Amino acid sequence: MVKRNNLAYHDSYLQYFERLAIHNWLFPESKLHFIGFDENDGILKPVTSQPVIEVDKGGTDAEQQGRAKEAEQAARAHMQALGFRKVMVNGQEDWYHPESGTVVEDLHSENVVLDKNRRAVVFDPTIYTVPKIGSALERALIREGLLNPANAAAPPAF
């Protein structure tokens, strides 16, 4: 699959490529391959390719819902194995890595599927490297004791 990123969630090309590298480390099954740039309205947009993953979409609605829940559970287990901690932000599950400051969002049933080997494959997550100052995420991290308010605006140490 080939797709063009509109850069809506990125402040710079550097930030985009940092997040692409983090995505590829976290989710190698859906690794993004940089192809080049496409010009659109005078703006260069990154173009990537991503493997097509074969999934079982058949069955009843109940079977499909069961696979969606299983995929989300597998994604949770994957994130926990990598040292991420679940944080609830505005009723949504986000994942925070306390050592790197990396945040991963959007691991819901439309972005996580099971491959033929029943492994979670994540597509199109939102990745941040530092929560925005004053954001709901920052407040949730402070509330849950995962972020020290005195260091909230400081970049993570790698």
**127: number of Cβ within 10 Å:** 21
Q: What percent of the chain has pLDDT over 90?
A: 35
Task: Tell me the Cα Rg of the chain.
Answer: 17
- For the chain, give the mean pLDDT: 84
DSSP 2: E
Cα–Cα dist 71/84, whole Å: 17
Cα–Cα dist 60/83, whole Å: 35
The helix (run of H) or strand (run of E) holding residue 138 is helix 136-143
Residue range 27-48: mean pLDDT, rounded? 93
Q: Give 90's contacts (C-beta < 8 A, 6+ positions apart).
A: 136
Model pLDDT, residue 9: 84
- First-to-final CA distance of the chain: 33
pLDDT digits (tens, 9 = 90+) for 67-126: 889 989 999 999 999 999 998 888 889 998 888 889 999 998 889 988 888 888 998 899
Q: How far is CA 52 from CA 1, 31, 49, 122, 143, in A?
A: 6, 10, 9, 12, 39
What residues does each domain of the chain span? 2-52+67-147
Tell me the CB-side half-sphere exposure of residue 98, using CA atoms within 13 A.
12
